[in-house]
Structure formats: C-alpha cells, structure tokens
Structure 1
C-alpha cells in the first residue's frame, strides 16, 4: 500500500503534503499554545524547523512534479504551490487535485 506513494512522484508529493499539513496542525494547536500559555518554547523549537523543512520540500517537490508531469504552470502547478501558503491548504489540494492525478479514491 505504501509503495503507491513512495514509487510514484505524485504519490510522494501527496505524502509530503500530508506531512506538511500535520506538522502545521502540531505547530499551531500544540506547540504555539504551549509556548504562550505555559511559557514553554521547546515544542516550537522542535516542530518549527521540521514544519519549515516540509514546507520547502513541498514547494520544491511541487515544482519538480509539475515539470515532470508537464502540468500547465498557471493551471495546476501554481495552485498546488499556493496551497501550502494557505493554512491547511495541502489537505484541500490533496483532495481536489493530487488524489485525482494519482488515480486514488482515498489516501490510505
């Protein structure tokens, strides 16, 4: 089951999108409240760089997959990249675009 994500460029992009979205959830709903409500910044220091790395990986992977799959930049690539700038947009883009391009009906 995991092979369909690891050995396919769109599958890898979907996996990165999911991880980027989860890291944002952890950052926004766990790490930041801990920092400001309990004066405990350790979670932000740990999760923040991971989220940042996944954010950049998503952008570069989107560009790479867009070029490899010959996506029209203005129609598909730009929309996919824009998704990571909108909170939780990677979940939306996976559901509306990437899943269809990957030929899946569900994530798992």
Structure 2
C-alpha cells in the first residue's frame, strides 16, 4: 500500500491517520456488530445508528484524501490505494499504522518526544 510522499505535512498526516482509524472503526462496528444484530437478533436500530455515522466518517476520510492530493501533499495515484483500503475491513487500521511511521519520518524531532 502506497503512502503519501515524505514531504507531506506531519499535521495533515496526523489528521489523516485519525480519520483512517475512525473510518475503520465505524466500518468494523457496522459490518461485525450492527449488521449481524439486525439479521440475527432482528434489531435494526444498530444499523440505523451506525450506518450514517460510518457514512460521514467515510466521506470525511475520502474528502481528506482528495484535499491532500489536490494540495499536492501526495500524488493522486498514491491516494487510490488509500481509498481502496476504506472498503476493506481492518485495512484502515493498517493504513493508520503506516501513516504513523510516515509521520515519524516526516518529523523526527516529534517522534523522539521533543
């Protein structure tokens, strides 16, 4: 999975990492908690509650990706694997982990606790 270029702004990468984690968390909650409860326990309230939250998280994550690509923080072709990861359960957590490493490379002073 390709990540943003090394010259990407560390503050933007931290925000993108947070959005990746939120989007991944809501996707996992929707697919592995709310949908099974709807079908197995006849309790559709979970999908009605988590569905729109996940939708907003997904749109926010995609918006940030295209904002970053549009601002030249990373190339558009590198954004597509990040978009695809939003559709795969748990892939957003891998993206967030890799962004953590990218943040450390972009700001070595902050990664040392200074």
Residues 42-79 of structure 1, C-alpha deviations (whole Å, 9 max, x = no match): 010000010011011111111112333531221x2122
- Aligned counterpart, 1:91: 93
Structure 2 counterparts to residues 1-80 of structure 1, below 5 A: 8-74=11-77, 76-80=78-82
Where in structure 1 are there 5+ consecutive unaligned residues? 1-6
Question: Who wins on radius of gyration, i.e. which is larger?
Answer: 2
Q: Normalising by structure 2, what TM-score? A: 0.74
- Deviation, 1:99, is 1.9
- CA separation in 2, counterparts of 1:103 and 1:68? 21
Where in structure 2 are there 5+ consecutive unaligned residues? 1-9, 106-110
Instruction: Kindly indicate whether structure 1 or structure 2 has the higher relative contact order, using CA contacts under 8 Å at least 6 residues apart.
Output: 2
Whether the 8 Å CA contact 1:83–1:90 is kept in 2: the answer is: yes
Provide the aligned C-alpha RMSD in A.
1.9
| Equivalences, count | 97
Q: Which 4+ stretches in 1 moved above 4 angstroms? A: none
Q: Normalising by structure 1, what TM-score? A: 0.78
- CA separation in 1, counterparts of 2:70 and 2:103? 16
